[in-house]
Amino acid sequence: MARVSTRSASIIGALLIATLLVGCSAVRLGYNSAPTLAYWWLDSYFDFDGEQSLRIRADLQAVQDWHRKEELPLLIQTLKELQAMAPKPVTPAQVCNTVASLQTRVQVTLERVAPSIGAIAPGLQASQIEQVSREFDKRNKKWREQWLEGTSTERAERRVEQIVDRAESLYGSLEPAQMAIIKNHVQTSSFDGPRNYREMLRRHEDALQVLTTLRTSKPTAAQATAAIRGLLERTLKAPDPAYRQYIDRLTLESCTATAALHNIITSSQRTHLVQALQDYEADARALAAQGAQAPTSQAASSPL
């Protein structure tokens, strides 16, 4: 529930795959496969040619090598802090601070990939940009079906189900009082589907314009990287101040509901939460150790 309601609609959002640790039933396998998964996700958008494919594959592997060495220790520390917090009541501010910290680590990872996208963007063919546009259209259609179409009751039920799934992955089965908190959160939420959809369309248009400009303007490597970083910044932080205020409001509502739910957890749920966090920490430690034991890969030297 304590997750910002924005969705990275830009192509850069695909690279989040490379940072995923949780939400997968086989965490270690998922993490170790992340460069391949991220590559195929991106390739579905760009339909890379041979040279582009080699560059992206190498750079995604290099980013994972860096992430394993530099970011996993930070994640381990965060997980230890969360374990210390787990048995205690929490405030909405504490929840939001944790979310903001994790979002910062994701942004740092995405910024690490910007030079790779900047390197290939000027060489994209018009057909590849058209492929990106078609994939955006598919994403738009799916989003409309989930969050704009159907009755308001159906949409609310989908939101409740989504939140319950995330909460139960940490706490186990929820109690009726906790379900009531989630349902009330959804019923009183400031979430505005059409507003989110308009922002998603803006991001898509922004991404397509940046890619088209880079293809036709023959920029230097530094200029291309700067353009991609600008796109990333506008994706993660909307230029419209009113939309940013709206997202801040959604985030605070989510953090408030999360704190309320956590503060009435049962002893068995508390045990389940601590065990889940300990398991994630063990996975993160094992993954970090794999990196320390493995020889430095050739891909890790790829210039970022």
pLDDT digit string, tens, across residues 215-246: 999 899 999 999 999 999 999 999 999 999 99
Q: Do 261 and 230 meet the contact criterion of CB atoms below 8 Å apart?
A: no
- In this predicted structure, the answer to whether residue 87 has a pLDDT above a threshold of 80 is yes
- Range in 52-66, 183-197, 249-263, 287-301 with the lowest mean pLDDT: 287-301
Q: Give the model's pLDDT for residue 22.
A: 36
High-pLDDT (> 90) share of the chain, %: 76
User: For 194-222, what is the mean pLDDT?
Assistant: 96
pLDDT in tens, 18-30: 333 333 435 677 8
**Residue at token pair 């749920």:** 269
pLDDT of 14 > 70? The answer is no
- HEC per residue, 130-164: HHHHHHHHHHHHHHHHHHCCCCHHHHHHHHHHHHH
CA distance 87 to 188: 28
- Tally the residues of the chain: 304
What does each C-alpha distance from 194 to 51, 78, 135, 191, 228 come to in angstroms?
40, 35, 20, 9, 27
What is the model's pLDDT at position 26? 55
Q: How many CA atoms lie within 13 A of 123 on its CB side?
A: 14
Question: Percentage of the chain with pLDDT > 70?
Answer: 87
For 256-300, the pLDDT digits (tens) are 999 999 999 999 999 999 999 999 999 999 999 987 665 544 443
Q: Which residue has the higher pLDDT, 110 or 176?
A: 176
Report the amino acid identity of residue 301: S
The answer to whether 11 touches 132, Cβ cutoff 8 Å, is yes
Supply angle C-alpha 100, 303, 47, rounded to 5.
80
Q: How far, in Å, CA of 214 to CA of 286, rounded?
A: 41
Report the mean per-residue pLDDT for the chain.
Answer: 87
Give residue 28's pLDDT: 75
| The predicted structure's pLDDT at residue 37 | 87
**Mean pLDDT of all residues in 137-151:** 94
Rounded-to-integer distance, Cα 101 and Cα 82, Å: 12
Indicate the pLDDT class of residue 204, thresholds 50, 70 and 90. very high
| 96-134 residue pLDDT tens | 999 898 889 888 988 998 999 999 999 999 999 999 999
Q: Over 90: is that where the pLDDT of 17 sits? A: no
Which residue type does 5 have?
A: S
Distances (CA, A) of 28 to 38, 58, 151, 283: 15, 20, 39, 6
Which helix (H) or strand (E) element contains residue 53? helix 50-66
pLDDT at 293: 67
Token look-up 């760009």 returns 46
Structure tokens at 132: 């990106």
